[in-house]
Structure 1
Amino acid sequence: MEFDNTFYAFVGLIIFIGLLVYLKVPGMMAKSLDERANNIRDELSEAKRLREEAQQLLADYQAKRKEAEEEAKAIVAAAEKEAAALTAEARQKTEDYVARRNALTEEKIKQAEADAINAVRAAAVDLAVAAAEQVLTKSVDADVQARLFQNSIGEVKTRLN
């Protein structure tokens, strides 16, 4: 019986497969594949954990951002209220100042009017006294002058008291 090349190739294949089984190559390959699958599984679980952590951090930062925005809005509202209060206070102080200045000015005007009226009255009295003196000096004798002078002094005393 003569063996051809196919038979020798078949025998070589059987020997090769036998060697592989003897050297436990399929077990090593299975073990290697299992280790790789476990590594991939671990990496996937780590990636999932990191993703959840990142989502939690994102949610925390979004909450902090929202909180900061609310705080900023509150600060702006408080500043607007304070500015409005300061404006109202300044307006009130200005109105009070103007009112006081107007009252003071009116008082000064009244005082000036009173002073002017008194000055005119004093000048009129001085003029009347001078005119009366001239008239009396020309038309009245010494006895009548003394009596008129005494009457005038008495009248001035009664007005002053």
Structure 2
Amino acid sequence: MANLTLIFAEGAAPTAFGMDATVWVSIAMLVFLGILIWKGVPGAIGAMLDKRIAEISKQLNEAEALRLDAESLKAEYEAKLATATKEADDMRARAEAEAEAVIAKAKADATALIGRRKQMAEDRIAAAEAGALAEVRSATAKAATAAAAALIAEKHDANADKALVDQAIASVAKG
């Protein structure tokens, strides 16, 4: 018992089969790891990790494919937008050109119409002037004829008629 007291007095750790607790924990750990390896736990863990890696890789590939699709769609829509913008600009330019052409044609038509109406008015005025001048000439001729007839009737007698007839006969005979 003295030895036992001495062992307890020194604070020595209990031992079994001459091995202390650290050795036993190490042996238990090696046995546990051996059982795990024998049952294939590391392979199962590796398989689970490989499966998870495959899933993550698949998700990354899908994400990459989606990103590429999105980029191609973006490029396609940007091209369509550029085309639509160009077409809109072309349509606007054509519309402006057509509007300018319509305005120019309207101005030309208005100028031509004004010219035609002015010419028609001038022609009407000229016709009215010619008609008025003809009426004045006709009235003047009638007045002159009436005045001449009145003067001849007043101042012309049978002797004057005889002289005129003789003069007309003489001019016919000469001719």
The amino acid that maps onto 2:54 is N
Whole-angstrom distance in 1 between the partners of 2:84 and 2:66: 26
Whole-angstrom distance in 1 between the partners of 2:159 and 2:122: 51
Shift of 1:104: 1.8
Give the ranges of 4+ consecutive aligned residues of structure 1 lying more than 4 Å apart after TM superposition: 9-18
Residue 172 (structure 2) aligns with = none
* TM-score between the two structures when normalised by the length of structure 1: 0.76
Shift of 1:143: 4.9
Residue 104 (structure 1) aligns with = 120
Residue 57 (structure 2) aligns with = 41
Distance 1:112 1:74, change over 3 A: same
Matched, 1:52 2:68: yes
Map of 1:4-153 to 2, 5 A cutoff?
17-145=33-161, 147=164
Who wins on radius of gyration, i.e. which is larger?
2
Whole-angstrom distance in 2 between the partners of 1:16 and 1:33: 22
Whole-angstrom distance in 2 between the partners of 1:145 and 1:110: 44
Distance 1:100 1:145, change over 3 A: farther
The amino acid that maps onto 1:107 is D
Provide structure 2 residue ranges, at least 5 long, that are not aligned to the other structure: 1-13, 169-175
Count of paired positions = 149
Q: Are the aligned partners of 1:20 and 1:26 in contact in 2 as well (CA < 8 Å)?
A: yes
Higher relative contact order (CA 8 A, sep 6+): 1
Shift of 1:19: 3.8
Q: Among all aligned residue pairs of Structure 1 and Structure 2, give the percentage whose two residues are the same amino acid.
A: 34
The amino acid that maps onto 2:87 is E
Root-mean-square deviation (CA, aligned residues, Å) is 3.0
Stretch of structure 1 that moved more, 111-120 or 136-145:
136-145
